[in-house]
Amino acid sequence: MRRRRFLKTGGLAALLAAMPRAFARAVGYPRALQGPMIGAPGPDHFTVWTRASGLFDVTLEYSTDRDFATVIEGPTAAATADDEGCVVLRADGLQPDTDYWYRLRYAGEHDRYQPLPHHTRTAPAGPAKFRVAFGSCCRIQFDPEQRIWNAVRALQPDMFLWLGDNIYADSDQADALVDLYARGRTVERLEPLLRSVPQLATWDDHDFGYNDSDGRSASKAQSLRVFRSFWANPSYGERDNPGVYFLQHYGGVDFFVLDGRYHRDPIAKPDDANKTMLGAAQKAWLKRELKASTAPFKVLAIGGGWSCAENEEGGDSWGVYLTERTELFDFIRDEGIGGVVCISGDSHMGELNCIPRSQQGGYDIYDFCSSPLAQMPAAKNTRQAPEVRVRDTWTRSVNVGLMRFDMTGDTPQLTYTLHDVMGEPVWEPLVLTPDDLRNGARTWDSKSDPAELERLERFRKGGGYYGFDPPQGWPSHPHYDGSSD
């Protein structure tokens, strides 16, 4: 009877006319096509994303008990064709660091295919112990089963950061982006994580457009529209500067998630002060927010690696935007901004590198790279060399990065590990404190594996990094002599 009432409203014909053809075929019982997924967290709120099966209202309900003895009705939002049927709902006025159960109503009905409520937790109100997992390069065409999510769930992160190539659409067509996002949200091993742990994201070339695409892309506004529909970040760029960058605070740490595509200059442009990856407005925003931050740790997150490893033909990381990178790192040094660490993806290798800025009066800046989540690992390490490899590269399996923060004591601490497809850590942990990340602190040599220091010394003397003579065309760059300017 409920289904008949829905059809008799006369809204179905208009719905079918208004919706994209592929989406219209999915109409059936009011329910979630994909989701729900937890989005941007806070101590007094949680955010829920879902994609509805039709253009109707979606309502959030939540409770502090699993059985919903007391039901709190949250906000309602209307699914629209412009947003591909996706809605974002936020429960406000909540208690920090507290468990909540939630469920959704679609056109007034609970989802008959998801009869049990879902569970999440609000963020802590102050400095806390917590875990943040991250990764990149998730290609469902290569790996539809994605066993890595078993390991991620076992690591019990409090937040997950997607660092680009979250889908491999490689297209300028919105339908291709929508299709790949939709398929990615129904991976069986991933769904429990999406429904309970906050998910935040930036993009890289394969979900922005085509391989190595940049700010010249004619379809970038369309890509941004679809991205905004399928993620629930706290914000997207600024009012007068579109993009996917934002600031997220959690447990005493500031996360600066950056957009390395929307305003990017072409790779082939000469690497001088006129070449940018971030664009002037985003760069000004980053400098302003870094200067204002009082967090002991400040995490800079972006798709491409921060080291100079990809300073080679075909590279599109910070390795070919070194002038702008130096500008940022000089600003951090000159303004006395402590606690900056970097995370990245894209390389199809697990990497832990360091840019030894202590030699220029600053402090050593570490770059933790996790890649891939679901894609073929690569052995590009045999032809690349960053300023310093703190740990050997990991190319034997897919992997996920984990940052463990303890902000509760007198000395805050960050511990970094990389985990393979079974969940096993592949390196000895790297432990950092704010004292390691202040001007004048030199740590790169004491924190690097002795084997990596031996390889670096051999390379500086003209030998092969891994013990064989470098092939013709091996990258030659002044950064490899240990300097970073």
Strand-strand pairing, 99-106 and 57-63: antiparallel
We report the CATH number of the domain holding residue 220 as: 3.60.21.70
Q: Are residues 173 and 64 in the same domain?
A: no
Average pLDDT over residues 50-54: 96
Q: Is the pLDDT of residue 24 over 60?
A: no
Closest CA to 110 of 219, 30, 202: 30
Last residue of a domain, one of 102, 121, 140: 121
Q: Are residues 94 and 170 in the same domain?
A: no
Percent of the chain with pLDDT over 70: 91
Q: Are residues 116 and 231 in the same domain?
A: no
Measured distance between the N- and C-terminal CA atoms of the chain, rounded to whole angstroms: 71
Q: Are residues 238 and 312 in the same domain?
A: yes
Does a cis peptide bond (omega within 30 degrees of 0) precede residue 372? yes
Q: Are residues 412 and 473 in the same domain?
A: yes
We report the CATH number of the domain holding residue 27 as: 2.60.40.380
Distance of CA 309 to the CA centre of its chain: 21
With 0-12 / 13-18 / 19 or more C-beta atoms within 10 angstroms meaning exposed / middle / buried, residue 98 is: middle
Q: Is the pLDDT of residue 250 over 70?
A: yes
Q: Is the pLDDT of residue 1 over 80?
A: no
Q: Is the pLDDT of residue 9 over 60?
A: no
pLDDT tens-place string over residues 444-479: 999 999 999 999 999 999 888 888 765 665 555 445
Last residue of a domain, one of 83, 103, 121: 121
pLDDT band at 27 (very low <50, low <70, confident <90, very high): low
Q: Are residues 25 and 114 in the same domain?
A: yes
Q: Into how many domains does the chain fold?
A: 2
Phi/psi for 213 (5° steps) reads -70, 155
Q: Are residues 112 and 175 in the same domain?
A: no
User: What domain range is 83 assigned to?
Assistant: 2-121
pLDDT tens-place string over residues 151-184: 999 999 999 999 999 999 999 999 999 999 999 9
Work out the angle between the directed axes of helices 322-334 and 280-292 (0-180°, nearest 10).
20
Average pLDDT, the chain: 92
Strand-strand pairing, 340-344 and 365-369: parallel
Q: Are residues 356 and 460 in the same domain?
A: yes
Q: Is the pLDDT of residue 125 over 80?
A: yes
Q: Are residues 98 and 167 in the same domain?
A: no
Q: Are residues 143 and 117 in the same domain?
A: no
pLDDT band at 417 (very low <50, low <70, confident <90, very high): very high
pLDDT tens-place string over residues 204-227: 999 999 999 999 999 999 999 999
Q: Are residues 160 and 288 in the same domain?
A: yes
Q: Is the pLDDT of residue 6 over 80?
A: no
Instruction: Kindly list the strands in the beta sheet with 46-52, ordered across the sheet, starting from the edge strand earlier in the chain.
Output: 32-38, 46-52, 86-91
Average pLDDT over residues 187-203: 98
pLDDT band at 382 (very low <50, low <70, confident <90, very high): confident
Last residue of a domain, one of 94, 121, 148: 121
Give the separation between CA 249 and CA 42, rounded to whole angstroms: 8
264-273 long-range CB contacts below 8 Å, 24 or more apart? 264/214, 264/215, 265/214, 265/215, 266/214, 266/216, 267/212, 267/214, 267/315, 267/316, 267/320, 271/320, 271/321, 271/322, 271/323, 272/323, 273/323, 273/327
Q: Is the pLDDT of residue 44 over 60?
A: yes
With 0-12 / 13-18 / 19 or more C-beta atoms within 10 angstroms meaning exposed / middle / buried, residue 272 is: exposed
Give the separation between CA 44 and CA 91, rounded to whole angstroms: 8
Average pLDDT over residues 94-120: 97
Q: Are residues 72 and 189 in the same domain?
A: no
pLDDT tens-place string over residues 321-380: 999 999 999 999 999 999 999 999 999 999 999 999 999 999 999 999 999 999 999 988
> For the chain, how many residues are written?
485
Buried b (16+ CB within 10 A) or exposed e, 278-313: bbebbbebbbeebeebebbbbbbbbbbbbbbbbbbe
Q: Is the pLDDT of residue 13 over 50?
A: no
